[in-house]
Structure 1
C-alpha cells in the first residue's frame, strides 16, 4: 500500500498547480496558446509549453518569495533536464523545422502578477 504524502508535500503540490495556472494565464493574456502543462518525458518534466506563431516557449515555473530566488532556482541540472525533455517533445512535432524555441521562466511571487523572464537560458546549439 502506498504511503500518503505529508501535509507539507500536499501543500507544495497544490501551490505548484496554482503557480502553473497563474503562469499559464499570464502567458495566454500575452497571446500565447498553452500546448501542454506538466509534460512528462523520460528525460524530465516541462512545466508549460506555449506557442505563438512559430515561436515555442519551454517554460519553467518557479514560485518563490523574490525574483532573485526564482532566478537562482533554475540551475545547471534543471537546464539539462528541461533541454532533454524539450528536444524529445520537439522531435515529435510535424512542423519541427520551422519552429523557433525559447527557454523562459515565469516567477510566481507573493501578491504580484507573475513575472515572465525571457531567455532564462539558451539551450544547446
Structure 2
C-alpha cells in the first residue's frame, strides 16, 4: 500500500469515527442525557463522550463496527483501564464530584441500525 493510500484510509477511518460519535451523542441526547464533553483528552487518554443524566455520569466509548459483538470485543481490558484512569482524572476536576456516580458505557454504531447503548459495560476496579 502506498503512502497516499494509507493516508486516504486513515482519513476515512477518522471520518467514520466522527460520524459514529455524532450519532452516539444524538442517541444519548434523545434518551435524556446531556453531553458534557466529546473527544475529551487527558494526559492519561481520550474519552469519546461524557454524558450526564441526573447525578449519573456515563463515560462512553463509541465503537463503529459491523456487529454488536465486534464492538464490545473492541473495548479490550487495556482500553477499559486507560478509559477508567482518564475518567477518574476527569471526575476529580468536577466541582460536584462527590455526589456524582460514574458509569462506563459502550455505544455500538452498527450499519443501517440505530446506535445500541450498553450501560454498565464494565466496572472499574
Class of the TM-score when normalised by the shorter of the 2 chains: over 0.9
Match of 1:80 in 2: 81
Match of 1:20 in 2: 21
* Structure 1: tracts of 5 or more residues without a match: none
Give the deviation of 1:106 after TM superposition.
Answer: 0.1
Aligned residue pair count: 122
Match of 2:120 in 1: 119
Q: Secondary structure at the match of 2:93?
A: coil
Instruction: Please give the root-mean-square deviation of Cα atoms over the aligned residues, in Å.
Output: 1.2
CA–CA distance in structure 1, aligned partners of residues 114 and 75 of structure 2: 20
Residues 54-108 of structure 1: CA distance to partner in whole angstroms, max 9, x if unpaired?
Answer: 0000000000000000010011110111011000000000000000111000000
Q: TM-score, normalised by structure 1?
A: 0.95
Give the deviation of 1:27 after TM superposition.
Answer: 0.1
Match of 2:100 in 1: 99
CA–CA distance in structure 2, aligned partners of residues 71 and 85 of structure 1: 19
* Structure 2: tracts of 5 or more residues without a match: none
Q: TM-score, normalised by structure 2?
A: 0.95
Give the deviation of 1:17 after TM superposition.
Answer: 0.3
Higher helix share: 2
Runs of 4+ displaced beyond 4 Å: none
